[in-house]
Amino acid sequence: MNATINLENKHFPVLLNELISIISPLYGGTFIDCTFGQGGYSKKILENKENNIIAIDRDKDVLTTASKFEKKYSNRFKFYNIKFSKLNKIKLKNNDLRGIIFDLGYSINQIKNSKRGLSFNNKGKLNMRMGINDFSANDFISSMDENSLSKVFKIFGGERYSKKIAREIVKIRKSKTIKTEDLVQIIDSVKKYQKTKIHNSTKIFQALRILVNKEISELINALINSFHLIPIGGVIAVVTFHSIEDKIVKFFFKHYSEERNSSRYMPNKEESKKCFKLINKKPILPSFKEVNQNPPSRSAKLRYAIKINQECNFNDFMEKFKYLTDVEELR
């Protein structure tokens, strides 16, 4: 018999070796895996019997995998079906937290699940909810005013044709409910002469996924809460997949690892201390080998920092990205 391995639904944990080489000097304690997914990161960390994992994921579909982990690793693994912005609600049993890790984005299971409608290759009702959401993409597309739609497409997707696409959506939705395939068609009809390497719908779908899942405020709150939760000497590591996420993570680590004078957001004239030690100023990228084996990894960037101070004021971080969190509140 010809033994073939079906790799179709296999999730390749991105930048796994790179992540492990960063956190392994801290082994012998608890790590929080904020994006459990199919457990690729957690599994690797649990291979070391001195480690414990607290795993988080907003997606209920990962519960089956999580309960297998709970059986296999019993008291070394605990799972929470919550959004990672709420990680400060977790009760830590021991005082041995060493690292908090994020692998942002979507797992292959989520992309392939047509009911979620995360991909422009899906058909049917617009959805894009990852789990624990208030609204779906259908709610936004069917009710948001033209200006707000255009703003979302422009700011979260960087879409040049945001206005025209928003206008067309508002026109078409008067006569029918816009499904995933209709949205793709609307975008194609507006951008028909565009010859670019990326799919016509990529930017609009990215914008909708960010909006539906409130990815910006999720990330900002999670980073701040991570800082407060992790003890001095602990590491926060984040793998991002698009430029907005990376901009946020880069600012968070870089800005707070520099000695700064008081800024206009800190009127008390106190000289602020560094909050992080930054080992690599540049992000760590996947190797050619990894990109060949797993092409979606090509946009991944890994950044990390070590906490070196107990107190940190994140007002200017929140202020810097308010223009993005404001867009998430448009509805």
Ligand X SMILES: C[S@@+](CC[C@H](N)C(=O)[O-])C[C@H]1O[C@@H](n2cnc3c(N)ncnc32)[C@H](O)[C@@H]1O
Binding site residues, ligand X, CB under 6 A: 11, 13, 35, 37-41, 56-59, 62, 83-84, 103, 105-107, 130-131, 218
Q: Minimum distance between the CB of residue 40 and ligand X, rounded to whole angstroms?
A: 2
Q: Among residues 42 and 138, whose Cβ is nearest to ligand X?
A: 42
321 touches 216 (CB < 8 A): yes
Q: Among residues 58 and 191, whose Cβ is nearest to ligand X?
A: 58
Q: Among residues 161 and 252, whose Cβ is nearest to ligand X?
A: 252
Q: Among residues 161 and 241, whose Cβ is nearest to ligand X?
A: 241
Q: Minimum distance between the CB of residue 232 and ligand X, rounded to whole angstroms?
A: 25
Q: Name the residue with the smallest CB distance to ligand X.
A: 40
What SS3 state is found at 245?
helix
Distances in Å between the alpha carbon of 207 and those of 38, 54, 210, 253? 25, 30, 5, 25
Q: Among residues 40 and 157, whose Cβ is nearest to ligand X?
A: 40
Q: Among residues 66 and 306, whose Cβ is nearest to ligand X?
A: 66
Q: Minimum distance between the CB of residue 262 and ligand X, rounded to whole angstroms?
A: 32
Q: Minimum distance between the CB of residue 193 and ligand X, rounded to whole angstroms?
A: 34
Distances in Å between the alpha carbon of 298 and those of 14, 17, 210, 289? 9, 15, 20, 10
Burial class from Cβ neighbours inside 10 Å (0-12, 13-18, 19+) for residue 30 reads buried
Q: Minimum distance between the CB of residue 308 and ligand X, rounded to whole angstroms?
A: 26
Distance CA 275, CA 221 (A): 16
Tokens of 47: 């291979």
Distance CA 81, CA 284 (A): 29
Distance CA 270, CA 315 (A): 14
Q: Minimum distance between the CB of residue 177 and ligand X, rounded to whole angstroms?
A: 26
Q: Phi first, then psi: what are they for 268, rounded to 5°?
A: -80, 5
